[in-house]
Amino acid sequence: MPSFPKRLRLLSLVAVLLIVGFLTTSIASYLVSRDAVRGGIVGTALPLTGDSIYSEIQKDILRPVFISSQMAHDTFVRDWLLNGEKDPEQLTRYLNEVKTKNGTFTSFLVSEKTRYYYHNSGMLRAIEPNDARDAWYFRVREMNKPFETNVDPDWANRAKVTIFINYQIFDYQNRFIGTTGVGLTLDTMSQLLKTYETRFQRNIYFVNESGQVVLTGNSAQGRNSILLHDGIRDVAAKILNHQSKPTQLSYPLNGQVMQVNSRFIPELGWYLIVEQNETADLRPVQRMFQLNLLISALITLLVLCIAIYSINRNQRRLEALANTDSLTRLLNRQAFEVVLNQKMTELARRPRSLAGILIDIDYFKVINDEFGHLTGDAVLRKVADILRHTVRTGDTLARWGGEEFIILLDDCPRAMALELAEHLRLAVANYDFALPRATSVTMSLGVVELQADETEDEFFQRADYLLYAAKSAGRNCVMADG
């Protein structure tokens, strides 16, 4: 007990040092990470993210442009038009193959000669100059560039709003003979935006030249116009600047800082807007700081638990060394006397039989002298093992000293103790210790039962007397009182 306060003071000092160390490193790490995140968002992350997303969107738009270009320059398409459009089913199969292979929403071709509108589902109708639905064709017909990207209803698919890539077709003499291309639904583009939002962890959406939100993933759902939305309306005029060069802005919203990167996309006539919540991006750093504190607390607790366990284990080990015979791993004489004292105290409260067996290995000095002390130690260990595995579970076995052992039998009358002693004698006598010259190992045993009002010393003296009587009787035998 006197050593416990010292151990407590040591553990307290270790705990304080661990806590101070972990707090210092965690706070320093948090401050550095916070400043790095802030600087990265404003100076690097958002501009690079805007450029990356713009490049991705350009790539996704250029892919259908490339498909449309291949269709417009396909010799099959041009030859089919120049040969009089004789087999519409053949073109329908071609358009359907383009649509299926490339995963587009629609594919089409309009002939300049017949003004027929061919669709991947078949020939639909003839293009009319006075039909507002067909104004796109006559616009494309007069273009000075080979293709355009525009957003129109697809009348072949229930007027679903679609992004069309319209590509001019020329014959081998560079004369205009029609228009072909593919279409992507706004739903497809919306899915692309959702993919970008997931990948880059940013708010991404498109607005037209009037500031109306025309296409969004998940982040800007429910937002109609940037001119009416809190926060961003303060910088809306700077966003709608028709500049293809990225514009970097920021605005406050509900106590948080929003960073904005915008640019005009001429192919669509829309503005790409990428937003980042600077305050939200600091939350992972804050959570990591909290996690570091939690981990630090757990590590501190674990170290203290390990320290307490180690101290207690070493204490138990020291106690075991003090109470255990190092050679046989049995209780030593001092520990046995403590057990006997406890049993005597219990007997005063609950009287019952208590017997003892004092054992001595016969001619053990001869074994040591003839075969050496290492062999003698091996014999002692083996005899201890035999005794340990033969006595009852509740019995107390100890090395009494030298080649002597003692067993305390709780709640065991004299007759039962005598029977057990004989069983022990035979177990050792019949065991082959593999000694040279076929030397046998035997034991002499004295069995005694505790008598009323008998002291511990008297109990031991009677056991020792009976053991001496067994040796005098020729050894390898059991002697009992009474």
Per-residue pLDDT of the chain (482 residues; tens, 9 = 90+): 444 566 677 777 777 877 787 788 878 877 777 777 666 666 676 677 767 777 777 666 678 888 999 999 999 999 999 999 999 999 999 999 999 998 888 999 999 999 999 999 999 889 999 988 899 999 999 999 898 877 777 777 776 777 888 999 999 999 999 999 998 877 767 777 788 788 777 888 888 888 888 777 766 656 788 888 888 889 999 999 988 888 888 888 888 888 888 888 876 668 888 888 877 777 777 777 778 878 878 887 787 787 777 777 776 666 666 678 889 989 988 888 888 888 888 888 888 899 999 999 999 999 998 889 999 999 999 999 999 999 988 899 999 989 999 999 999 999 999 999 999 999 999 998 888 877 889 999 999 999 888 888 899 999 999 999 999 999 999 999 86
**CA gap 235, 335 in Å, rounded:** 88
First to last CA, the chain: 46
Cβ-in-10-Å burial (0-12, 13-18, 19+) of 24 comes to: exposed
**CA gap 180, 137 in Å, rounded:** 10
Q: Scanning the structure block, which residue is given the tokens 């050894």?
A: 475
**DSSP per residue, 112-135:** TTT-EEEETTEEEEE--TT-GGGH
Q: Scanning the structure block, which residue is given the tokens 């006397």?
A: 337
Count of alpha carbons within 13 angstroms of residue 103, beta-carbon side: 4
Identify whether the C-beta of residue 184 lies closer than 8 Å to the C-beta of residue 105: yes
pLDDT at position 220, please?
62
pLDDT at position 404, please?
94
**CA gap 232, 246 in Å, rounded:** 16
**CA gap 109, 32 in Å, rounded:** 60
Overall residue count recorded for the chain in this entry: 482
Q: Which two tokens stand for residue 443?
A: 């034991």
C-alpha distances (whole Å) from 394 to each of 159, 181, 410, 412, 451 are: 92, 94, 7, 11, 21
The β-bridge relationship of strands 354-361 and 404-410 is antiparallel
Phi/psi of residue 244, nearest 5 degrees: -70, -20
The β-bridge relationship of strands 478-480 and 443-449 is parallel
Identify whether the C-beta of residue 463 lies closer than 8 Å to the C-beta of residue 406: yes
Phi/psi of residue 155, nearest 5 degrees: -70, -15
Q: Scanning the structure block, which residue is given the tokens 């350009």?
A: 58
pLDDT at position 1, please?
43
Question: Which of 213, 232, 210, 235 lies closest to 224 in space, CA to CA?
Answer: 213
Would you say the C-alpha torsion 433, 434, 435, 439 has a positive or negative sign? positive
Q: Scanning the structure block, which residue is given the tokens 């116009």?
A: 225
pLDDT at position 444, please?
95
**CA gap 413, 454 in Å, rounded:** 16
pLDDT at position 212, please?
85
Q: Which two tokens stand for residue 120?
A: 């991947």
Q: Which long-range contacts (CB under 8 A, 24 or more apart) does 194-197 make?
A: 194/218, 196/53, 196/56, 196/57
Identify whether the C-beta of residue 50 lies closer than 8 Å to the C-beta of residue 261: yes
Identify whether the C-beta of residue 162 lies closer than 8 Å to the C-beta of residue 151: yes
Identify whether the C-beta of residue 104 lies closer than 8 Å to the C-beta of residue 71: no
For residue 257, give the 3-state DSSP assignment. Answer: strand
Identify whether the C-beta of residue 247 lies closer than 8 Å to the C-beta of residue 238: yes
